Amino acid sequence: MNMKGILLVNLGSPESPNPKDVKKYLGEFLMDERVIDVPLWARTLLVKGIILNTRPKASAAAYQKIWWEEGSPLIVISERLQEKVQQKVEDYPVALAMRYGTMTIKKGLQELVDKGVNEVLLFPLYPQFAMATTETIVVLAEEIRKQHFPSIKITDFPAFYNKPDYIEVLSASVSKHLENHPFEHLLFSYHGVPERHIFKSDVTKSHCKIDKSCCVTPSKAHEYCYKHQCLEVTRLVAEKLQLEPGSYSTSFQSRLGFDPWLLPYTDRTIERLGKQGIKNMAIVTPAFVSDCLETLEEIAMEGQEIFHEIGGENFTTVPCLNDDEAWVNLLAKWIKNWAEPSIAELI
Ligand SMILES: C=CC1=C(C)c2cc3[nH]c(cc4nc(cc5[nH]c(cc1n2)c(C)c5CCC(=O)O)C(CCC(=O)O)=C4C)c(C)c3C=C
Ligand SMILES: [Fe+2]
Ligand SMILES: [Fe+2]
């Protein structure tokens, strides 16, 4: 008999905000060949020789500012989401795993298999596809399946950046937050990636040029183009909220190293908007479904500081979807559509 289950997968966090644990986490994360995509010798030199000797202390200090009593916000929020989704889809076990750290994909699959599951919906918790996020999860899960659970079937849930029901839920959460926070400019800030990642994921090998036109010119490359998918989220939410042209823009945050990353950078954009005289600014971060270091510290704290230093007055950050009820209901709907396709056709 077939039994279906779901594995939600997020990025992961250090065990604690102490430099030792942060170093261990960053070591695993940054040694992933889909995150720092250079030959092993160069990655080892860069990560173990340079980054792990310099970054963990500063990174740990940042984690200490946002850490909750229950643990890492990203983990705690993902656990709440998993519990709430489970309550909505009682017939199907829902497990949670992290790509890095101790809540491994292997443990998540084992948990489902122990409950009798033999068909798994693998759900990377990222709206946009990226080599450093979705792809690394899908590839690792398949390796683990082959090695440890060869008799189960895994179906990957694709990037959902342009699904109308996702855009509706995201837009509603932005609009609700902004009701109480009047703004002149809404910045859509996405996690950045090196430009090289975009070229590598281009299935046509010729479409992506990272110029002003390629992401708005239809192409099958867009199924795996992170930049296109981010720009689409901005466009669709702006359309839904009827934002005036010029009252919103897109930028990319969290760059690391000296390679060219997607432009424009969020910190410089905040500065530019402040210099242009914007006094009331709002930021939404749709590359993340759960609040985390990158939203709570880099945007809500550092971003705000940059804005105030340049003369800005009111700065607000839209919370991620986290365990919002409409988001939970949407995940439950997608899960049921997958698990019960004949019922989905009737809805
Ligand atoms: C080459 C480095 C990195 C790439 C590429 C990258 C892509 C990427 N990351 C996320 C989501 C998150 N990243 C987070 C933290 C984080 N990311 C990097 C580096 C790359 N990310 C580092 C070094 C760190 C650690 C923090 C730091 O030292 O600055 C997080 C937060 C995790 C948490 O514990 O809260 C998330 C989430 C996406 C979506 C993405 C590509 C699209
Ligand atoms: Fe990251
Ligand atoms: Fe493009």
- Sheet of 119-124, strands arranged across: 94-98, 4-10, 119-124, 153-156
| Sequence spans of domains, the chain | 4-159+325-346, 164-317
Please check the confidence at residue 343 and state whether its pLDDT lies above 70: no
The DSSP code sequence of 92-149 is: S-EEEEESSSSS-HHHHHHHHHHTT--EEEEEES-SS--IIIIIHHHHHHHHHHHHH-
pLDDT in tens, 170-225: 999 999 999 999 999 999 999 999 999 999 999 999 999 998 899 999 999 999 99
Q: Are the C-beta atoms of residues 124 and 9 closer than 8 Å to each other?
A: yes
Task: Identify the bridge partners of residue 253 per DSSP, sorted by sequence position.
Answer: 191
User: Looking at residue 112, what is its pLDDT?
Assistant: 98
Say how far apart CA 133 and CA 130 lie, in whole Å: 5
Please check the confidence at residue 277 and state whether its pLDDT lies above 80: yes
Token pair, residue 333, equals 């709907």
Residues 6+ apart with CB under 8 A from 197: 37, 130, 131, 132, 226
pLDDT in tens, 5-60: 999 999 999 999 999 999 999 999 999 999 999 999 999 999 999 999 999 999 99
Token pair, residue 108, equals 């998540």
Which has the closest alpha carbon to 55: 32, 28, 29, 26? 26
pLDDT in tens, 61-99: 999 999 999 999 999 999 999 999 999 999 999 999 999
The model's pTM = 0.97
User: Looking at residue 212, what is its pLDDT?
Assistant: 84
Say how far apart CA 74 and CA 5 lie, in whole Å: 22
User: Looking at residue 258, what is its pLDDT?
Assistant: 84
Q: How far away, in angstroms, is 234 Cα from ligand 3 center?
A: 15
CATH topology agreement for domains 4-159+325-346 and 164-317: yes
pLDDT in tens, 290-316: 999 999 999 999 999 999 999 999 999
User: Looking at residue 1, what is its pLDDT?
Assistant: 80
Ligand 1 is surrounded, with C-beta below 6 A, by: 11, 13, 26, 35-36, 55, 59, 72, 74, 126, 130, 132-133, 191, 193, 226, 254, 256, 287-288, 292-294
Mean pLDDT of 226-243: 98
Q: Are the C-beta atoms of residues 28 and 103 closer than 8 Å to each other?
A: no
Q: How far away, in angstroms, is 206 Cα from ligand 3 center?
A: 10
Task: Identify the bridge partners of residue 68 per DSSP, sorted by sequence position.
Answer: 71
Annotated ligand binding at 195? The verdict is no
User: Residue 71 region, left (φ>0) first, then alpha (ψ -120 to 50), else beta?
Assistant: left
Please check the confidence at residue 257 and state whether its pLDDT lies above 90: no
Return the CATH class of domain 164-317.
alpha beta
First-to-last alpha carbon distance for the chain, in angstroms, is 26
User: Looking at residue 127, what is its pLDDT?
Assistant: 98
Ligand nearest to the CA of 35: 1
Say how far apart CA 207 and CA 280 lie, in whole Å: 38
For 53-61, the CB contacts below 8 A with 24+ separation are: 55/26, 56/19, 56/20, 56/22, 56/23, 56/26, 57/19, 59/22, 59/26, 60/14, 60/17, 60/18, 60/19, 60/21, 60/22
Say how far apart CA 117 and CA 294 lie, in whole Å: 34
Q: How far away, in angstroms, is 29 Cα from ligand 2 center?
A: 9
User: Looking at residue 344, what is its pLDDT?
Assistant: 60
CATH number of the domain at 4-159+325-346, please?
3.40.50.1400
Say how far apart CA 277 and CA 312 lie, in whole Å: 8
pLDDT bucket at 342, cuts 50 / 70 / 90 = confident
Q: How far away, in angstroms, is 2 Cα from ligand 1 center?
A: 37
Residues 6+ apart with CB under 8 A from 224: 129, 201, 202, 203
